[in-house]
């Protein structure tokens, strides 16, 4: 494995960099302040539309779907170059591109692919994820939202409550998993749907967070009617769809350039005054940066291995959990390190300092990443069982019908 660009990759990087330099600045988010959610999502849609119009919306998807039909390495190169800008690429576009599209492509019918993939890629359709419930997060298969078929209308009637639905207050469609059969074990009675968030009976209530933002929601579903044409995959096969979606979510972590790269941190330390001159002249800081650099490189190399697997048509399976686990832990560590380098200035900052509020946000947000998309402990269980083949957890509910639990 060689991490230097091949001549073709270098040429693609030059083209992509020039295109980004000409297009990205117009869509960048301001430093140190959070704009209104509605404005952010508007910018996010517009940025995606601009990219897709120029075949950068999805590097990997074939051109017939509006993508570039490029290689995994081109996708990596583009993500690295795009990561240099502060662009609106939050969950409001990430869930559509990284989770809904792969699931619809793998499990959906051709008319569903036709209906959802192009508009999502052009930013015309944004998505939220209606999976977690108050008593079903890590144990997602224990969810209780019910979908009951009304055969006469060829519709499903859905009742239940979802929680932590990122951006559900402003997105157009939701990916939804619901229980359609209570008489079989919990993983087997689930079905996957897509739902128009404007459907009567859907009520979205924002949750205010410690960061001051409120992009999380509780979503209540009361007699929500979903046409059977919005079911993705077979009835009772929802768990397989959910696994495709979650693999996309876990592999997507770390590819977004959200964290401060170590090179940025070194630059930052060199600009932070200390008794020794700058923070970079402090040996403890240098030691911490060297350790963080080693971890960053290890993660990068491991990600490259998984990408190689995918490019060979192999399924990384539970190994995707390793990417998510190391990325989120490393992100928290480097955010903490940035705060430590800043010392007291990391707490009380000058009015014209836009960088420190960003550090605060990263530091708080990094904690959430260790829970979202699979909490650390759950990922460790999966790695132990499915990657290392160690004995599984005791699961007394595994072969018991859901209504007998
Ligand atoms: C930033 C963020 C965004 C999110 N966005 C969405 C979204 O858009 N849509 C959505 O549906 N959900 C979303 N979630 C919810 C997320 O998927 C859940 O929070 C996550 O699955 C954990 O579930 P829980 O919060 O119910 O915690 P629980 O499952 O109750 O877990 C609590 C603690 O117990 C531990 N634990 C649980 N089971 C085990 C076990 N078997 N062995 C050892 N330890 C265990 C966990 O690791 C955790 O530390 C989001 C969460 C966050 C933080």
Whichever domain contains 279, its CATH number is: 1.20.140.10
Average pLDDT over residues 44-55: 97
Please count the other Cβ atoms lying within 10 Å of the Cβ belonging to residue 11. Answer: 11
Chain segment 4-13, per-residue pLDDT in tens: 778 888 999 9
Question: Is the distance from CB of 168 to CB of 217 less than 8 angstroms?
Answer: yes
Q: Which residues constitute the domain of residue 291? A: 253-387
Residue 193, C-beta contacts closer than 8 angstroms, at least 6 positions apart: 147, 156, 158, 175, 176, 177, 178, 226, 230, 231, 232
Query: Does residue 300 share a domain with residue 215?
Result: no
Query: Does residue 232 share a domain with residue 257?
Result: no
Average pLDDT over residues 18-32: 94
For 359, the 3-state DSSP assignment is helix
Please count the other Cβ atoms lying within 10 Å of the Cβ belonging to residue 314. Answer: 11
Average pLDDT over residues 346-360: 79
137 lines ligand 1 (CB under 6 A): yes
Query: Does residue 376 share a domain with residue 272?
Result: yes
The verdict on residue 109 lying in a domain is no
277-284, long-range: CB < 8 A, 24+ apart: 279/341, 279/343
Distance (Å, rounded) from C-alpha 344 to C-alpha 340? 8
372 lines ligand 1 (CB under 6 A): yes
Q: What is the pLDDT of residue 259?
A: 46
Q: What is the pLDDT of residue 5?
A: 79
In ligand 1, which atom is closest to the CA atom of 129?
9
Query: What would the two tokens of residue 265 be?
Result: 């941190």
Q: What is the pLDDT of residue 256?
A: 44
Rounded to the nearest angstrom, the distance between the alpha carbon of 199 and the centre of ligand 1 is 27
Distance (Å, rounded) from C-alpha 369 to C-alpha 385? 22
Query: What would the two tokens of residue 174 be?
Result: 């939701």
Rounded to the nearest angstrom, the distance between the alpha carbon of 376 and the centre of ligand 1 is 9
Average pLDDT over residues 265-269: 86
Query: Does residue 311 share a domain with residue 227?
Result: no
Distance (Å, rounded) from C-alpha 306 to C-alpha 109? 28
- What kind and span of H or E run contains 67? none
Rounded to the nearest angstrom, the distance between the alpha carbon of 136 and the centre of ligand 1 is 8
Q: Residue 401 above 90 pLDDT?
A: yes
| DSSP secondary structure letter of residue 90 | S
235 lines ligand 1 (CB under 6 A): no
Please state, rounded to an integer, the average pLDDT across all residues of the chain.
90
Q: Residue 251 above 80 pLDDT?
A: no
Query: Does residue 272 share a domain with residue 320?
Result: yes
The verdict on residue 65 lying in a domain is yes
The verdict on residue 399 lying in a domain is no
Distance (Å, rounded) from C-alpha 319 to C-alpha 310? 12
Rounded to the nearest angstrom, the distance between the alpha carbon of 139 and the centre of ligand 1 is 8
In ligand 1, which atom is closest to the CA atom of 381?
42
- Residue of 90, 138, 220, 329 best suited for mutating to test ligand 1, as the one with most atoms within 8 Å of CB: 138
Q: How confident is the model at residue 3 (pLDDT cuts 50, 70, 90)?
A: low
Question: Is the distance from CB of 259 to CB of 331 less than 8 angstroms?
Answer: yes
Q: What is the pLDDT of residue 183?
A: 97
Query: Does residue 284 share a domain with residue 166?
Result: no
Distance (Å, rounded) from C-alpha 80 to C-alpha 49? 19
The verdict on residue 103 lying in a domain is no
Distance (Å, rounded) from C-alpha 77 to C-alpha 257? 11
Chain segment 330-346, per-residue pLDDT in tens: 999 998 998 888 887 77
Average pLDDT over residues 22-50: 93
Q: What is the CATH number of the domain that holds 147?
A: 2.40.110.10
Chain segment 360-377, per-residue pLDDT in tens: 888 888 898 999 888 999
Q: What is the pLDDT of residue 304?
A: 80
The verdict on residue 396 lying in a domain is no
Length of the chain counted residue by residue: 405
Number of domains in the chain: 3
Q: Which of 203, 236, 269 finishes a domain?
A: 236
Question: Is the distance from CB of 224 to CB of 159 less than 8 angstroms?
Answer: yes
* Active-site option among 249, 256, 340, 358: 249
In ligand 1, which atom is closest to the CA atom of 375?
47
23 lines ligand 1 (CB under 6 A): no
403 lines ligand 1 (CB under 6 A): no
Lowest-confidence segment of 146-160, 161-175, 211-225 by average pLDDT: 211-225
CA distances from 270 to 85, 124, 158, 279, 350 (A): 22, 43, 56, 6, 19
Query: What would the two tokens of residue 110 be?
Result: 């051709």
Chain segment 94-130, per-residue pLDDT in tens: 999 999 999 999 999 999 999 999 999 999 999 999 9
Query: Does residue 276 share a domain with residue 159?
Result: no
Query: Does residue 262 share a domain with residue 225?
Result: no
Q: Residue 243 above 80 pLDDT?
A: yes
The verdict on residue 315 lying in a domain is yes
Rounded to the nearest angstrom, the distance between the alpha carbon of 103 and the centre of ligand 1 is 21
207 lines ligand 1 (CB under 6 A): no
The verdict on residue 195 lying in a domain is yes
Lowest-confidence segment of 55-59, 170-174, 193-197, 276-280 by average pLDDT: 276-280
The verdict on residue 365 lying in a domain is yes
Query: Does residue 339 share a domain with residue 259?
Result: yes
Average pLDDT over residues 374-396: 92
Average pLDDT over residues 159-167: 97
Is 9 among the residues known to form the active site?
Answer: no
Question: Is the distance from CB of 86 to CB of 140 less than 8 angstroms?
Answer: no
Query: Does residue 382 share a domain with residue 286?
Result: yes
Give the pTM: 0.91
Q: What is the pLDDT of residue 254?
A: 52
145 lines ligand 1 (CB under 6 A): no
Q: Considering the chain, what percentage of its residues have pLDDT values greater than 90?
A: 63
Query: Does residue 277 share a domain with residue 183?
Result: no
Q: How confident is the model at residue 253 (pLDDT cuts 50, 70, 90)?
A: low
For 13, the 3-state DSSP assignment is helix
Residue with the nearest Cα to atom 48 of ligand 1? 375
Query: Does residue 198 share a domain with residue 267?
Result: no
Average pLDDT over residues 20-44: 92
Q: How confident is the model at residue 398 (pLDDT cuts 50, 70, 90)?
A: confident
Q: What is the pLDDT of residue 258?
A: 44
């Amino acid at each position: 494995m060689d991490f230097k660009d091949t001549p073709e990759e270098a040429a693609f990087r030059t083209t992509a960099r020039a295109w980004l330099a000409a297009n990205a600045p117009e869509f960048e988010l301001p430093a140190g302040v959070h704009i209104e959610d509605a404005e952010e999502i508007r910018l996010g849609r517009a940025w995606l539309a601009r990219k897709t119009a120029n075949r950068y919306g999805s590097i990997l998807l074939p051109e017939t779907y509006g993508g570039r039909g490029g290689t995994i390495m081109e996708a990596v190169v583009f993500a690295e170059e795009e990561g240099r800008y502060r662009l609106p690429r939050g969950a409001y576009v990430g869930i559509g591109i990284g989770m809904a599209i792969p699931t619809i492509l793998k499990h959906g019918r051709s008319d569903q692919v036709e209906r959802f993939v192009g508009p999502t890629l052009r930013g015309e359709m944004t998505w939220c994820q209606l999976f977690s419930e108050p008593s079903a997060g890590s144990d997602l298969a224990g969810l209780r939202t019910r979908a009951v078929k009304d055969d006469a209308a060829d519709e499903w009637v859905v009742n239940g409550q979802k929680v932590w639905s990122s951006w559900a207050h402003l997105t157009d469609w939701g990916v939804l998993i619901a229980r359609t059969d209570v008489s079989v074990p919990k993983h087997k009675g689930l079905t996957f749907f897509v739902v128009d968030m404007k459907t009567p009976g859907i009520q979205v209530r924002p949750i205010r967070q410690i960061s001051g933002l409120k992009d999380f929601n509780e979503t209540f579903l009361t007699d929500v009617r979903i046409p059977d044409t919005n079911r993705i995959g077979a009835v009772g096969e929802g768990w397989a769809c959910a696994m495709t979606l979650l693999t996309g979510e876990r592999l997507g972590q770390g590819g977004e350039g959200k964290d401060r790269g170590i090179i940025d941190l070194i630059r930052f330390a060199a600009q932070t005054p200390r008794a020794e001159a700058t923070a970079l002249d402090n040996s403890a800081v240098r030691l911490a940066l060297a350790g963080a650099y080693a971890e960053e490189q290890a993660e990068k190399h491991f990600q490259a291995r998984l990408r190689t697997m995918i490019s060979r048509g192999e399924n990384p399976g539970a190994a995707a959990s390793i990417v998510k686990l190391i990325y989120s832990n490393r992100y928290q560590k480097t955010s903490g390190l940035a705060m430590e380098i800043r010392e007291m200035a990391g707490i009380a900052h000058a009015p014209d300092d836009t960088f420190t509020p960003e550090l605060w946000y990263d530091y708080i947000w990094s904690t959430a990443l260790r829970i979202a998309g699979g909490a650390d402990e759950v990922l460790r269980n999966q790695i132990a069982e499915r990657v290392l083949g160690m004995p599984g957890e005791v699961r007394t509910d595994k072969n018991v019908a859901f209504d007998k639990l």
